[in-house]
Amino acid sequence: MTGPLCAGLADLIAARIDGAGSGPTAHRLQACLAALAEPAPRLAVLGGHSDGVSTVVDTILGARTAAVGRVSTASVVGWFCYGESGVLRAIPRDGDPRAISWAAAARLPADLTGLGLTVREIERIVVRAPLDLLRDWTVIDVPGMRSGCRRVPAVLAEADAVLLVLPEPGPDPGPTVASVRRFAATTGLTAANTVGVLSRLERLAVADADPWPAAQRVARTYGDRLRGLLVDPIPVAGLLAAAALPGGFDEDHARMVRALRGADPQRLALALTDEWEFRDWTDGPVCRQDRLRLVGMIGVHGIRELVAADAEDATTFRAVLWDRSGAAALVARVTGPLRAAGDRLRCARLLAAAERAVVRAAGPERACELAALGDELAAYRNRPELAQVRLAGALTDLLSGRCRLPAADADALETLAAGVHTAGCLGLPADADPGLVTEAARKAATHWSTWESADVSRRLRGHVRAARELSQRLALSAAGPGPHREDDG
């Protein structure tokens, strides 16, 4: 559903669009209106090639539907939208869209020969499915970026929020952190619109140890070193999460796990030290073909978990897999705080797009109607309820070093920009005493107004002004009857 901030922006543009005539400016503004009217904001999922991006897409959709693994469809951008239609549409780079029938929520076809197009000719595929998450988000599965490739996927400019699947760091996380930072600086990703995901977490474990402590440690390292860019990255065992979904782990797999339990415990432990040992376990209780199927579905880490679990049939095994995958935390973030920010994030992106369209208008197109729209858009951006949106620009400037603040102030500004409820914006727990929250917000407002009157660049003054306005707004909402909601218009 379009939220109040997007609805207000759409009204503003619609009232002036006739003044844009019928040229490129009018087209750009029409595109803004179309995106503002879409049923849901857009969430792009991206990361490195084979880092498990499409598996994370499946995890949040709750359906094994994205193009996973080495299939040619995996190199095309996939858009998943809410709807009943069992049609897969391909939008070619040139020419008219083509469509083939597709069973809603089934796995995408491995190749697109049915469409008479090669993957190189296709700009995107669009599918509709009646999946609950798609009521909240249109999900974009962005093909993995090859390491060393510096080209930013163009589709990122069309996304309102991003799940960034983080690469596995080496023993020294420095170079990986630096590359993620560079990527964020080029693309304008900040903690305001980006959630980090650490998938394939069993790779982080030493030998057959429990990967979770290592995953939590790596997530903390990323969180600390990528301040401003990500807040508390979420670890997920993507393979286990996807196996827990319908069409994944089934009764046949359950039978194999039960058979493994009958093996000599020491021999079983040895066979489960790594994938190759398991594949080569010729005298085990499960035939080679079944071993390959089982390890392909849940990996040796998943097999270890299930052999030791208190479960017997496919349903209870799937519940164990979902539980151990950590996916619930990811889904909760996407459907909770990130969704609450959806209206604000979409409004921010399309406000910027509309402003660019007006600035680029030239000659006779630059009628007074458009100049008035430019002024109205600037005023809209300055509304106090969009102060948090303006702070995303502050994060970008701090990340790139264009603006500098003492570390404590930079931290406070990031917390303000990325917070999802009144207390959280001030670094306090959600259930903090309202009196305490009001006092913290007032103090913050006074602090930022001191910065505002200091001798700082115009750019930084704009940022601290947004911080002051947001703090004042938080003080009002903490003192008032209802909780602050980011999308409360």
Per-position x/- string for 192-221, each x denoting binding to ligand GDP as judged by CB under 6 A, each - no binding: -------xx-x-------------------
SS3 sequence of 346-392: HHHHHHHHHHHHHHHCCHHHCCHHHHHHHHHHHHHHCCHHHHHHHHH
For residue 377, which amino acid is it?
L
User: Could you say which of 47, 169, 211, 342 contacts ligand GDP (CB under 6 A)?
Assistant: 47
User: Which of 44-52, 107-115, 375-383, 426-434 is the region at the interface with ligand GDP (rule: CB under 6 A)?
Assistant: 44-52
- Provide the minimum distance between the beta carbon of 294 and ligand GDP in the complex, in angstroms, as a whole number: 13
Rank residues 238 and 419 by Cβ distance to ligand GDP and give the closer one: 238
Calpha distance 53→163 (Å, rounded)? 9
Binding flag, residue 51, ligand GDP (CB under 6 A): yes
- Provide the minimum distance between the beta carbon of 305 and ligand GDP in the complex, in angstroms, as a whole number: 12
User: Could you say which of 45, 53, 272, 373 contacts Mg ion (CB under 5 A)?
Assistant: 53
Binding flag, residue 472, Mg ion (CB under 5 A): no
Are the CB atoms for 379 and 351 separated by under 8 Å? Answer: no
| Strand segments (E) across 87-155 | 87-92, 98-101, 122-129, 138-141
* DSSP secondary structure letters along 7-30: HHHHHHHHHHGGGGTTSHHHHHHH
User: Could you say which of 153, 188, 238, 342 contacts ligand GDP (CB under 6 A)?
Assistant: 238
Rank residues 141 and 202 by Cβ distance to Mg ion and give the closer one: 141
User: Which of 20-28, 67-75, 105-113, 165-173 is the region at the interface with Mg ion (rule: CB under 5 A)?
Assistant: 67-75
Calpha distance 177→185 (Å, rounded)? 12
Binding flag, residue 324, ligand GDP (CB under 6 A): no
Smallest Cα–Cα separation from 141: which of 253, 42, 1, 229?
42
Phi then psi dihedrals of residue 162, to 5 deg: -135, 135
- Number of residues in contact with Mg ion under rule CB under 5 A: 3
Number of H helices, E strands in the chain: 21, 9
First to last CA, the chain: 14
Tokens of 380: 């809209």
- Provide the minimum distance between the beta carbon of 154 and Mg ion in the complex, in angstroms, as a whole number: 16
Rank residues 49 and 182 by Cβ distance to ligand GDP and give the closer one: 49
Binding flag, residue 78, ligand GDP (CB under 6 A): no
Rank residues 142 and 338 by Cβ distance to ligand GDP and give the closer one: 142
Residue 466 interacts, among ligand GDP, Mg ion, none and using kind-specific CB cut-offs from 5 to 8 Å, with none
**Binding positions for ligand GDP, rule: CB under 6 A:** 47, 49-55, 68-69, 74, 144, 199-200, 202, 237-239, 299
